[in-house]
């Protein structure tokens, strides 16, 4: 049989009414054992799966205990940690998490949200795919389902949002590199069409301009915000006529890739080139060298997003709130030691260890 098997298909195959099949699926004692056995046999043969969430949604007074969570890149460990934080909070409130990855695909995002609605989710936490608009979230909001946008916001959407202070974090990272003596600093990785990128890049540029170190457009080298993207970005960076000596990376994944690319080029991260990431995922502390990064506390961010959503579910209102979380600079080995002038090489080099 082509397509999805329905209750009507089961009823036709058994020669009973749709209501009878529904009663069997619900475990009702009103159906005699012979009919129940016949219906269950056909259900197994046809591979029908009972959508209990959708059935609950059809009951006027039924409320599910499911929270939908959609992230744009589950291959990035930041989002795995975010999901752990959400899960800790929703479990303590008696809910379960329905997690899906959109992989930056709007169509996929529509599909998983539709599936979550069929299961009767009580609320949705979403890190939107690139290009998500207010119209994409309107069906969820129209159904009275509270929504919290996390990491990325959706301009014009009347949803709550939880972001990090991307501007302040990026500026603090660049100021740290300037204090170490770097005078040519690059911004590596990221998609320029996201608000997160815009905020981080603005903080990066403002720090350079304030120090009189802005050298033009080549300070930004775009790439996918992934480890592979970091490798690509540093390869292009090192081919510049006047290569930078340090970089602020869009996120930790890019920073790890930059470390990989430097080693492939025979250079040592933290010694020959300074690196700062953004996020502070768990691996940042144990990386070699340990990654200097802007800490946003991914698990804590997940917990705060869940608290925001649960508050709205409890109140029965979807009044939008905007929360901007503070960040801090976590200084480790990858940003290296202070630099001094090296007249013989016309460059800068690390201060010798005492």
Residue 124 burial by CB count (10 A; 0-12/13-18/19+): exposed, middle or buried?
buried
Among 118, 246, 109, CA closest to 174:
246
The CATH number of 7-50 is 1.10.260.40
CB–CB of 230/260 below 8 Å?
Answer: yes
Among 180, 167, 300, CA closest to 245:
180
Among 302, 301, 257, 297, CA closest to 275:
257
**CATH entry, 66-164+298-326, from 3.30.200.20, 3.40.50.2300, 3.20.10.10, 3.30.70.260:** 3.40.50.2300
Q: Which pLDDT tens digit goes with each residue over 297-314?
A: 999 999 999 999 999 998
Q: Domain limits of the chain?
A: 7-50, 66-164+298-326, 166-297+330-350
**CATH entry, 166-297+330-350, from 3.40.630.30, 3.50.50.60, 3.40.50.2300, 3.40.50.300:** 3.40.50.2300
What's the token pair of residue 164?
């990090």
- Domain 66-164+298-326 and domain 166-297+330-350, same fold? Reply is yes
What's the token pair of residue 99?
């997690």
**Dist. CA 310–CA 122, nearest whole Å:** 9
- Using CA atoms in the order 149, 155, 157, 159, what is the torsion angle rounded to 10 degrees? 30
- Using CA atoms in the order 54, 57, 62, 67, what is the torsion angle rounded to 10 degrees? 80
pLDDT in tens, the chain (354 residues): 345 788 888 999 999 888 788 878 877 666 788 898 999 999 888 878 766 655 554 544 445 799 999 999 999 999 999 999 999 999 999 999 999 999 999 999 999 999 899 888 999 999 999 999 999 999 999 889 999 999 999 999 999 999 999 999 999 999 999 999 999 999 999 999 999 999 999 999 999 999 999 977 778 999 999 999 999 999 999 999 999 999 999 999 999 999 999 999 999 999 999 999 999 999 999 999 999 999 999 999 999 999 999 999 988 877 899 999 999 999 999 999 998 765 444 344 554 433
Beta-bridge partner residues of 240: none
């Amino acid at each position: 049989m082509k397509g999805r098997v329905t209750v009507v298909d089961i009823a036709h195959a058994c020669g009973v009414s749709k209501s009878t099949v529904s009663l069997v699926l619900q475990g009702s004692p009103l159906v005699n054992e012979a009919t129940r056995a016949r219906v269950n046999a056909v259900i197994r043969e046809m591979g029908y799966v009972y959508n209990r969430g959708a059935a609950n949604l059809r009951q006027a007074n039924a409320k599910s205990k499911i929270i939908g969570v959609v992230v744009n890149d589950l291959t990035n460990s930041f989002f795995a940690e975010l999901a752990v934080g959400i899960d800790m909070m929703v479990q303590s409130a008696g809910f379960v998490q329905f997690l899906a990855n959109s992989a930056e695909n709007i169509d996929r995002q529509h599909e998983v949200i539709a599936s979550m609605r069929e299961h009767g989710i009580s609320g949705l936490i979403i890190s939107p795919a690139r290009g998500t608009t207010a119209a994409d979230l309107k069906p969820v909001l129209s159904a009275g389902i509270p929504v919290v946008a996390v990491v990325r916001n959706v301009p014009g959407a009347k949803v709550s949002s939880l972001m990090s202070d991307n501007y302040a974090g990026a500026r603090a990272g660049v100021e740290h590199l300037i204090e170490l003596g770097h005078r040519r600093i690059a911004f590596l990785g990221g998609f320029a069409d996201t608000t997160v990128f815009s905020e981080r890049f603005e903080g990066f540029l403002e720090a350079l301009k304030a120090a009189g170190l802005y050298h033009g457009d080549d300070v930004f080298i775009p790439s996918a915000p992934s480890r592979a993207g970091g490798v690509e970005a540093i390869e292009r960076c090192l081919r510049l006529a006047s290569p930078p000596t340090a970089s602020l990376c869009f996120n930790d994944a890019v920073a790890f890739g930059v470390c990989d690319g430097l080693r492939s080029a025979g250079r040592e991260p933290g010694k020959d080139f300074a690196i700062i990431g953004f996020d502070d995922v768990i691996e940042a502390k144990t990386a070699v060298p340990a990654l200097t990064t802007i800490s946003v506390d991914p698990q804590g961010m997940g917990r705060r997003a869940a608290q925001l959503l649960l508050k709205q579910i409890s109140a029965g209102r979807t009044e939008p709130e905007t929360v901007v979380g503070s960040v801090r600079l976590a200084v480790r080995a990858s940003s290296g030691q202070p630099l001094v002038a090296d007249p013989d090489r016309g460059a800068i080099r690390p201060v010798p260890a005492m």
